[in-house]
A and B are shown apart, each in its own frame.
Chain A
Amino acid sequence: MTQDVAVLGAGMHPWGKWGRSFVEYGAAAARAALADAGLEWRDIGSIVGADTVRGGYPGYVAGATFAKALGWQGARVASVYAACASGAQAVNTARAQILSGLADVVLVVGADAAPKGFFRPAGGDRPDDPDWLRFRVLGATNPTYFGLYARRRMAVHGETPEDYAQVKVKNSAWGALNPYARYRKPVTAEEVAASAVVADPLRLLDICATSDGGAALVLAGLEFARRHGVTNPVRIRAVSTVTPRYPNTVLDLPDIATDSAVAVQPAAHTFRESIAHAAYEEAGIGPEDLSFAEVYDLSTALELQWYEDLGLCGEGEAVKLLREGATAVGGRIPVNASGGLASFGEAVPAQAIAQVCELTWQLRDAAGDRQVDGARVGIAANQGLFGHGSAVVAVR
């Protein structure tokens, strides 16, 4: 087990389609996190940026781009790219610097200005890139994979599109209470059912949008926190950044096929299960210890998959958990009290950081109308394209 690190500050730029540069969103989020921590930018010894690849060249060097926007002050810098797990890897990089003594206090920033409509691969003819290939050869967008997963769950577990709509109803009700969310209007099951089918059986309101947004954290060692007058901070207890194990037998974005299980039996845990499992092991907790969870609801059906992968229930029982209200307001294990991606949309390098912002606010009992009563332990779970696991456990 590793030592904890303290979350001294959390900040966001509101998500939406603002039409500005990712640098602006990241700098605004960073300033908010610094103000929340009661620190000046010049107090920060290290900055870690989660990269966007759609911001052009500056996006690949996000750490220094944000540092320049805030004003060069000589801080140590790192930039990380791990697709949707970039934010968690940035948190982990900061944590490693703190625990190794390389830095006392680190600013973590992720921000993006997403394109309208479907995500698409970077330009050029690149047949050695699986992400390029799935578009070129199959026209397989992200929502078509979400549709495959949903249809599979319907066939295996007996879920229905009406169940999926209830996930949106639940998350949108919370999103309406979150000032940083892009969508701030409760959605009804009828509205989900009336929205256009994007990838059978999923409709527009089952699938998360692409958004602009930014999120930032100020992380520090516990000793620095104490010196700074914070004796009982929210603490990050675990960061899981695992890769899959061969053979990965669940068809995963952006792949055209799974690994073959003909020579090697699949591991006991699927990749998504192993992401949570590694976080639990490192934190020394189990799913029964959780007060709440933030999961990566790229689609309503995928949120149900996470219930099982996090061990909140057994395989095939996610829909029962949903139907009995366990994951809703006042339930045993509220999921996506932030409103989730259903309410935020995707701003890729920011979203895993935004999840940790929500963990922080909930654990500080500072989440306002969406506060989970008695929140003591929270997990944020996420998955990055190309095999990047991502989960964070925070405690108070």
Chain B
Amino acid sequence: MVAGWFAGDGEDFRLLGTRCSACTSVFFPREDSHCRNPGCPGGDLEEVPLSRRGHVWSFTDGRYRPPSPYVSDPELPWEPYTLIAVELPSERLVVLGQAAPGVTVADLAVGMEVEVVPGVLHEDAGTTWTTWQWRPTEVTA
């Protein structure tokens, strides 16, 4: 779906951002054309893996089917998904993502530690669209 936003398997799975060589600003989703810090003379933007773990900034869910371009099977009953916004302490930014399957709002609290894991956005006959998901570090399932 989106090229170069994440890479790796299992424990090595990471979100990928970019970092400005001049001012150290980090960007996610990756910024490849120019540093967006208005006080920066502009440096090279280098790919950088983001922290694997962070803390829940907030969370919610989607009880109604989102419209296109979100892909879901209209033949199946809607299964609410959970969204988690996560503060990454070393990068000092907040990244939104879907929660891992089975994680509901009842499992979450602001400030809780979560980690990024690989996930599947949807599949059809020919393709599996992969994504990143957030999962509380205390959940092992």
Contact = CB atoms under 8 A, between A and B. Distances in A.
Interface of A: 117-118, 120-121, 125, 127, 132-141, 143-144, 147-152, 155-156, 196-202, 246-247, 249, 251, 255-264
B23 A257 contact: no
Given A141-B62, A152-B110, A199-B63, A264 B68 contact: no
B64 A138 contact: no
B69 A147 contact: no
B58 A141 contact: no
Given A120-B67, A260-B25, A137 B131 contact: yes
Given A117-B67, A256-B29, A261-B92, A138 B60 contact: no
B2 A127 contact: yes
A257 B95 contact: yes
B29 A136 contact: no
B41 interface: no
B58 A152 contact: yes
B69 A135 contact: yes
A138 B98 contact: yes
Given A151-B58, A156-B110, A264-B25, A137 B121 contact: yes
A376 to B, nearest CB: 38
Contacts of A140: 62, 66, 83, 96
A149 B58 contact: yes
B contact residues, range: 35 or more
Given A199-B62, A262-B24, A264-B25, A136 B1 contact: yes
Residue from B37, B39, B91, B93 whose CB has the most chain A CB atoms within 10 Å: B93
Given A141-B62, A246-B38, A135 B94 contact: no
Contacts of B110: 151-152, 155-156
Contacts of A127: 1-2
Given A199-B61, A264-B37, A155 B111 contact: yes
Contacts of B117: none
User: Which 5 pairs from chain A and chain B are nearest by CB?
Assistant: A147-B60, A155-B110, A152-B58, A139-B66, A120-B67
Contact of B61 (A125, A136, A200, A261): A200
B59 interface: yes
B26 interface: yes
B23 to A, nearest CB: 5
Nearest to A136: B69
B81 interface: yes
Given A117-B67, A155-B110, A246-B37, A257 B59 contact: no
Contact of B93 (A144, A199, A261): A261
Given A137-B2, A140-B83, A148-B58, A264 B111 contact: no
Interface string B79-100: 0010101000011111111100
25 contacts: A117-B67, A118-B64, A136-B70, A137-B121, A138-B96, A139-B98, A141-B67, A151-B59, A151-B60, A199-B62, A199-B63, A200-B59, A200-B61, A201-B60, A247-B37, A251-B94, A257-B96, A258-B93, A258-B94, A260-B25, A262-B24, A263-B24, A263-B26, A263-B37, A264-B37
A23 B102 CA distance: 47
B96 A251 contact: yes
Contacts of B83: 138-140, 144, 148
B93 A155 contact: no
B28 interface: yes
Contacts of B23: 263-264
Given A137-B121, A251-B96, A256-B95, 8 more contacts: A134-B96, A139-B83, A147-B61, A200-B60, A201-B60, A255-B96, A260-B92, A264-B25
Given A148-B83, A251-B85, A260-B93, A132 B69 contact: yes
B57 interface: yes
B45 interface: no
A255 B39 CA distance: 22
Given A132-B69, A137-B131, A257-B93, A263 B60 contact: no
B116 to A, nearest CB: 13
Contacts of A247: 25, 37
A125 B69 contact: yes
B59 A148 contact: yes
A297 B1 CA distance: 34
A260 B68 contact: no
Contacts of A262: 24-26, 90-93
Nearest to A156: B110
A379 B94 CA distance: 31
A155 B109 contact: yes
Residue from A125, A135, A139 whose CB has the most chain B CB atoms within 10 Å: A139
A260 B57 contact: no
A249 B2 CA distance: 23
A246 B38 CA distance: 7
Contacts of A251: 57-58, 85, 94, 96
A197 B110 CA distance: 20
